[in-house]
Amino acid sequence: MVEITQEDMIAIELRADEESKSPFQAYVFWFFLGLVGAHRFYIGHGKTGFLMAALTCSMIGLPISIAWWLADSVLLGSLLQHEREIVRDRIAREVLDLKRLS
């Protein structure tokens, strides 16, 4: 059975840091372009980003978009954490696959 060592875990975390989306950038997108869903496009949630942009552009949906934008100020951290976990799991699978092959 192949196991991940402590060195592997450190390498996985370092690579996850490099490949994950930047929280600072995500919040900059949220603050300046959040009503058109730019922060959601940035973190890979294109469908909801498009929906947010469409609501904002429709003007009728603007109040919904504003409420969503405010809610995302709280939700964005957990969305980023979930995205980072996906990246970390993918990298861990790659490391395990490489160890199995060698």
Query: Residues 14-68: pLDDT tens digits?
Result: 999 999 999 999 999 999 999 999 999 999 999 999 999 999 999 899 999 999 9
Query: Residues 90-101: pLDDT tens digits?
Result: 999 999 999 898
Question: How many degrees, rounded to 5, is the angle at CA 22 between CA 28 and CA 50?
Answer: 60
Say if CB 9 and CB 19 are below 8 A apart. Answer: no
Handedness of CA 41, 44, 47, 49 (dihedral sign): negative
Extents of the domains making up the chain:
6-97
**Cα gap 8→88, rounded to integer Å:** 12
In this structure, what is the dihedral angle of CA atoms 77, 83, 85, 90, given to the nearest 10 degrees?
-170
69 pLDDT band, cuts 50/70/90, is very high
